[in-house]
């Protein structure tokens, strides 16, 4: 069972059903609008990284081992753009890691490549992130110490490589 099917979909369904229930209780006329709500495009962010971007390392070493209680989620519905934005964050992710994920998402969106599935790789202090210890260090990054050295977006191989450090280093 993958992370998406095990954790994210039940969490999204719970949040969306609570929002629809609140709308239905507050505004009886909105009950008939439920079908229209579910036709909205769903944009999902996990720790500020927009899906379909993902990281094999984070999925296998971090997200797959989490329980539902370790996630916090919000849903924002924009009826003018007919989008529902689902943001899921984990409790261990610090502000530096969240800023890095948001930066990666914005750069990919600026290039217009967000529709493709891309794998994100992290180079932390000139070493690839590939162990559970490396992932924990990445999650604990603070924004004040984070330095994004380089972001390489390879559309042909459908991957993104983020070179980061927790202090000023030169490549």
- State yes or no: pLDDT of 146 exceeds 90: yes
pLDDT value at residue 38: 58
Q: What is the DSSP letter of 131?
A: S
**b/e code 122-143 from CB counts within 10 Å (16+ = b):** bbbeeeebeeeebbeebbebee
> Mean pLDDT, to the nearest integer, of 45-56?
87
CB 119 within 8 A of CB 56: yes
CB atoms within 10 A of CB 166: 17
- State yes or no: pLDDT of 25 exceeds 50: no
pLDDT value at residue 51: 84
User: Which helix or strand (DSSP H or E) is residue 86 part of?
Assistant: strand 83-90
pLDDT value at residue 2: 54
Provide the Cα torsion 5, 6, 9, 11; round to 10°: -170
- State yes or no: pLDDT of 14 exceeds 90: no
pLDDT value at residue 96: 94
> Mean pLDDT, to the nearest integer, of 154-163?
92
* Residue pLDDT, tens place only, 125-144: 999 999 999 999 999 999 99
Q: What's the CA gap between 18 and 12, in Å, rounded?
A: 10
- The DSSP bridge pattern shows strands 127-128 and 118-124 to be antiparallel
Q: What percent of the chain has pLDDT over 70?
A: 70
* Residue pLDDT, tens place only, 63-113: 888 888 888 887 777 777 677 888 889 989 999 999 999 999 999 888 887
């Amino acid at each position: 069972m993958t992370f998406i099917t095990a954790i994210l979909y039940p969490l999204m369904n719970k949040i969306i059903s609570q929002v629809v229930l609140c709308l239905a209780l507050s505004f009886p006329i909105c009950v008939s609008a439920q079908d229209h709500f579910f036709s909205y495009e769903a944009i999902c962010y996990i720790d500020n990284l927009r899906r379909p971007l993902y990281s094999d390392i984070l999925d296998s070493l971090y997200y797959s081992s989490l329980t539902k209680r370790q996630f916090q989620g919000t849903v924002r519905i924009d009826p003018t753009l007919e989008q529902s934005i689902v943001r899921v964050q984990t409790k261990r992710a610090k502000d530096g890691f969240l800023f890095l994920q948001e930066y990666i998402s914005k750069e990919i969106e600026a290039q217009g490549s967000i529709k493709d599935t891309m794998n994100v790789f992290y180079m932390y202090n000139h070493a690839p992130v590939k162990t559970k210890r490396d992932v924990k260090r990445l999650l604990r990054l603070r924004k004040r110490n984070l330095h994004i050295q380089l972001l390489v977006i390879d559309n042909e191989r459908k991957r993104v490589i983020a070179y980061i450090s927790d202090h000023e280093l030169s490549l």
